[in-house]
Amino acid sequence: MLSDALSLAQAFAEAQADPASTLEKALTRALGASAVFISTTAERARREARAASERWAAGQPLSPLDGVPIAWKDLFDMVGTPTTAGAEVRRECAPAQHDAALVNILSRAGLVNLGKTNLSELAYSGLGLNPHFGTPTLPSGGQPLRVPGGSSSGSAIAVAAGIVPLAMGTDTAGSIRVPAAFNGLVGYRASRQRYAMDGVFPLARSLDTLGPLAHSVRDVVALDQLLTGTRASLPLPLSGLRLRVDTAVLLDTRVEPAVRDNLMAALERLRAAGVLIEQRPVAALQACLDLIEKHGWLGSAEAFALHQPLLDSLDAERLDPRVRKRLETARQLPASTQLMLSQAAEQLREQLRDELNGALLVTPTVGHVAPLLEPLLEDDALFARTNLATLRLTMPGSLLDMPGVALPSGTDNQGLPTSLLLAAPSGEDTHLLRAALAIEPLVRSA
């Protein structure tokens, strides 16, 4: 199993490992992993790894992550490869002529591009099932198969299975945070304006954003610094850090006991270290949960508008029926409802900022651990209910454009990961990441 990316880079610096041999091991694991990668870019990766090996040997790395292998969700354009979006109808689309903006930035920083990872078709599910390219599952050691979380399923499993230490995903309603939670990883949903979306296949343009899945917050921060050109961020002091916990969310019966208990235990460790814990409802969060439950998801209208030509064509029969049905539900969504949701979201963003007043919001990332795969394959109604339940606590953060970091908080009695979500008002990413750096050791120390 790979350690985190910065540890790997340190091994390069100390000549205990080199990028070229590290890549070959990663390629072998990638090719042997079922349904994790849609395509690998071996020729490019080998060229990049050889160059990184030469730079480390000369003591001239391009960045702190030079030579580290990275995988990309197959929504990101990579020159010479088709961007399938996990859809059968896009399997034979023309190869990209240019790298996506983020691929270009990290390539110039020396990272080694291993390939494109699997996802829910068109990125439109929080569970990660894909009938066309297969469904990657949690590394289980022979236990019953469980869903990987979606839509960034392959990216999460590529990191969890030790193929790469870093993988990029996208997040429209929870597609980074959910698979991070199910796999015991760190997942960062950036505010929408933080990273360039050029060369990324969309789902809902007003909600789509990007971010990495990793083994540690420090890896996320290192990657963020390369993408934003910012300086190193130090952890915030624990003493005086304020966290707001919505008691109504925690007491909801839809939150499994292990998820709640692990979160509360983490909060007690943080309180003992000097963190100020405020436990009371957050009106803006509750209003957002109610808004989505009563009126639906704003992104559904944008997703339908994007894919209506496909839905109205004969190729619609080639879509995953579960994805097609979910897309079709927005066909009759009134424009007045879309406008109301958009205006309400804008008002709630400001209300949330005022309510938190400098505090960071803590909730479970998902109310439950990774569900079993087989029942969801057999029962479409169960799939739909489980998908909504899985995304329930991440959708408000998306609607309110809250940057969020999913942190592993422990396991349940079956050894399945639970997760805590630390979130901030829109645009406060740097403060959030510094806080996540500070609290991560105590959240993990179950």
Q: Of 53, 151, 153, 409, which is the active-site residue? A: 151
Q: Which residues contact 11 (CB under 8 A, 6 or more apart)?
A: 17
**175 is annotated as an active-site residue:** yes
Rg for the chain, CA atoms, rounded? 21
Q: Structure tokens of 311?
A: 């839905």
258 in Cβ contact with 412 (< 8 Å): yes
Compute the residue count for the chain. 446
Q: Of 63, 175, 398, 426, which is the active-site residue? A: 175
CA distance 76 to 421: 25
Complete edge-to-edge strand list for the sheet that includes strand 112-117: 37-40, 112-117, 69-73, 166-171, 209-214, 186-189, 404-411, 417-423, 360-364, 242-245, 276-279
**426 is annotated as an active-site residue:** no
Nearest to 117 by CA among 84, 73, 152: 73
Q: pLDDT tens, 356-394?
A: 999 999 999 999 999 999 999 999 999 999 999 999 999
Nearest to 400 by CA among 361, 348, 329: 348
Cα 183–Cα 113–Cα 404 angle in degrees, nearest 5: 40
166-171 and 209-214 as β-strands: parallel, antiparallel, unpaired? Answer: antiparallel
Cα 207–Cα 263–Cα 232 angle in degrees, nearest 5: 60
Ordered domains of the chain (ranges, CATH): 1-282+358-446 (3.90.1300.10)
Nearest to 220 by CA among 177, 261, 256, 259: 177
Q: Structure tokens of 282?
A: 């957050």
The rounded average pLDDT for each run of 10 residues, N- to C-terminus, in the chain (446 residues) is 86 98 98 97 98 98 98 98 98 97 98 98 98 94 89 98 98 98 98 98 97 98 97 91 96 97 98 97 98 95 96 98 96 94 97 98 98 97 98 98 98 97 98 98 87
SS (H, E, C) 243-274: EEECHHHHHCCCCCHHHHHHHHHHHHHHHHCC
**313 is annotated as an active-site residue:** no
Q: Of 53, 63, 73, 216, which is the active-site residue? A: 73
